[in-house]
């Protein structure tokens, strides 16, 4: 059960970093790209926090 949370966390963090990398390749305003990248990281942090609340610490 615990490995499922770790796997999901790795997937969401990998998706966030790939998304940030893709954003860096797209031409446009750095302000908007930074905002979207920041939202991706915040979403990944929140997702990881929710998963850690689901599985109790030992």
Note the pLDDT tens digit of each residue in 11-49: 889 998 998 889 888 888 888 888 888 999 999 999 888
Half-sphere exposure of 4 (CA within 13 A, CB side): 4
CA atoms within 13 A on the CB side of 31: 0
- Pick from 8-12, 45-49, 53-57: least confident: 53-57
pLDDT at 9: 84
Rg of the chain's alpha carbons, rounded to an integer? 14
User: What pTM value is reported for the model?
Assistant: 0.73
CA distances 34 to 38, 40, 51, 57, Å, are: 6, 10, 26, 34
pLDDT at 42: 92
pLDDT above 50 for 1? no
Residue 40: how many other CB atoms lie within 10 Å: 19
């Amino acid at each position: 059960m615990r490995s499922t949370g770790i796997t999901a966390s790795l997937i969401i963090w990998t998706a966030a970093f790939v998304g940030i990398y893709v954003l860096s390749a797209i031409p446009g305003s750095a302000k908007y790209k930074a905002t979207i990248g920041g939202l991706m990281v915040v979403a990944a942090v929140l997702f990881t926090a929710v998963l850690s609340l689901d599985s109790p610490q030992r």
